[in-house]
Chain A
Amino acid sequence: MSQLWIAVLGASALCFILKLLGYSLPESFFSNPRLQRINALIPVVLLSALVASQTLTKDSQVIVDHRIAGVLVAAVALRFKAPFPLMMLLAALVSALLYRSNSI
């Protein structure tokens, strides 16, 4: 099986087990405030790291290219409470224009 299929099926299986586990465990199982604080921060760090690596790295190198312009525009759009699809569209548009004009 290819690495991609392993990732697809492995992540799907684990995520489904996590969903199902929620219905099988008592709510008190997760009442420790320290665990709750850590858990609240996990999506913050993972998603932030993904923003950084998807914007500023390529082939294990940190590089600045057309993508950063798109992501900065997305940040401005989010700052002004733009809806999600519009924000992504603006990011793609700006990045694509820069990429095509080769100005960075």
Chain B
Amino acid sequence: MAARLIRQNSRVSFPRRAVLRDSLSVAIPVGSYGAAFGAAAVAGGFSVAQACALSLLLFSGASQFAVVGVMTGGGSALSAIATGALLGIRNGLYGMRMAPILNLRGLKRALGAQITIDESTGVAISQENRGEDAMRYGFFATGIGIFFFWNLFTLIGALSADSIGDPSSWGLDAAVPAAFLGLVWPRLVDKKSRIAALLAVIIALSLTPFVGAGFPIIATVLIAIALGWSTK
């Protein structure tokens, strides 16, 4: 399907091989990290089927880890859904950016939307100087590539975690916060973001003993609103 979607959109020539290389150099490592997600989900009490369902249906790393993190921490399904959805807003914004370039309708729009994530959008935008055909090719090659590898490795990770016993003795309980740290790290580029991160840590920990699990995480959105509101 990837080939067909790409071919029908191709009019001008572009260095296909170079774009494909860029796409796969992102898709393969990111996809393989699905093993960590699958293992973390199962270690946190999700079934193999539930871990795979998240990778197939939700397909957005940060939101998936958030759902697992909130539920594992004892939060309610509602907190998990809210946290996952708040982290999913940016995918909608990527869609706004990609819509005029991809120009998708009907079922293709639904399929394109599902693979609209950090990496597919990132690779597409990085091909801007090669033209819109290269951007489309990069988007689909990266998105479909990650979808394939991410789901494959989720299954592998989930099945292996099912058989290892105590997740702590394999460090899985530290790998999950490390994953969150790796996801937030590149965003801490300016002073405001660092202040927001520090306040979020303080507020989340201070609220923990007093309110239900999951709530301290969602409550930190107020920090984003307060800091984002002012222009300073």
Q: Beyond A84-B182, A99-B171: 16 further Cβ-contacts under 8 Å?
A: A3-B77, A4-B46, A4-B47, A18-B91, A22-B98, A34-B229, A41-B223, A43-B183, A44-B188, A45-B197, A47-B184, A49-B204, A50-B66, A52-B205, A91-B177, A94-B174
Question: Would you call B185 and A48 a contact (CB within 8 A)?
Answer: no
Across the interface, do B69 and A50 meet the contact criterion of CB distance under 8 Å?
yes
Q: B180 and A47: CB pair below 8 A?
A: yes
26 A-B contacts, Cβ less than 8 Å apart? A7-B71, A9-B53, A10-B81, A18-B85, A18-B91, A20-B109, A22-B93, A26-B96, A27-B99, A29-B96, A39-B89, A42-B89, A45-B223, A47-B87, A48-B184, A49-B220, A53-B205, A59-B74, A66-B168, A67-B173, A71-B181, A74-B177, A84-B33, A85-B33, A85-B36, A95-B173
Q: Select one of B97, B170, B184, B225 contacting A51, CB under 8 A.
A: B184
Chain B 158-179 residues near chain A, CB threshold 8 A: 168-179
Contacts known (A12-B53, A41-B196, A54-B176); A49 close to B33, Cβ less than 8 A: no
CA distance A72 to B194 in the complex (A): 17
Q: Is the CB of A19 within 8 A of B217?
A: no
A-side contacts of B224, CB under 8 Å:
38-39, 41-42, 44-45
Q: B218: nearest residue on chain A (CB-CB)?
A: A46
Chain B residue with Cβ nearest A13: B57
**B84, A22: Cβ atoms closer than 8 Å:** no
A12 nearest CB neighbor, chain B only: B57
Q: Please report the C-alpha to C-alpha distance between residue A8 and residue B178 in the assembled complex, in whole angstroms.
A: 22
Is B193 interfacial (CB 8 A cutoff)? Answer: yes
Interface residues of B (CB under 8 A from A): 29-30, 32-33, 36, 45-47, 50, 53-54, 57-60, 62-63, 65-67, 69-71, 73-74, 76-77, 80-81, 83-100, 102, 104, 109-110, 112-114, 116, 168-185, 187-188, 192-193, 196-201, 203-205, 208-209, 212-213, 216-218, 220-221, 223-225, 227-229
The answer to whether A20 and B113 touch across the interface, beta carbons within 8 angstroms, is yes
In the assembled complex, the Cα of A88 lies from the Cα of B74 at a distance in Å of 23
Known: A45-B221, A53-B205, A60-B208. A19 touches B74 (CB 8 A): no
Question: 9 smallest A-B Cβ distances: which pairs?
Answer: A22-B95, A70-B174, A92-B171, A95-B174, A38-B228, A96-B171, A91-B178, A12-B57, A11-B84
B interface majority secondary structure? helix
Please state if A23 and B99 are interface contacts (CB–CB under 8 Å).
Answer: yes
Residues of A within 8 A of B89 (CB): 18, 39, 42
When distances are taken between beta carbons in the complex, the residues of chain B under 8 Å from A13 are 57
Are B73 and A15 touching (Cβ within 8 A)? no
In the complex, what residues of B have CB within 8 A of residue A70's CB? 171, 174-175, 177-178
Known A10-B77, A50-B69; judge A41-B88 contact (CB<8 A). Answer: no
Known: A42-B86, A95-B171. A15 touches B60 (CB 8 A): yes
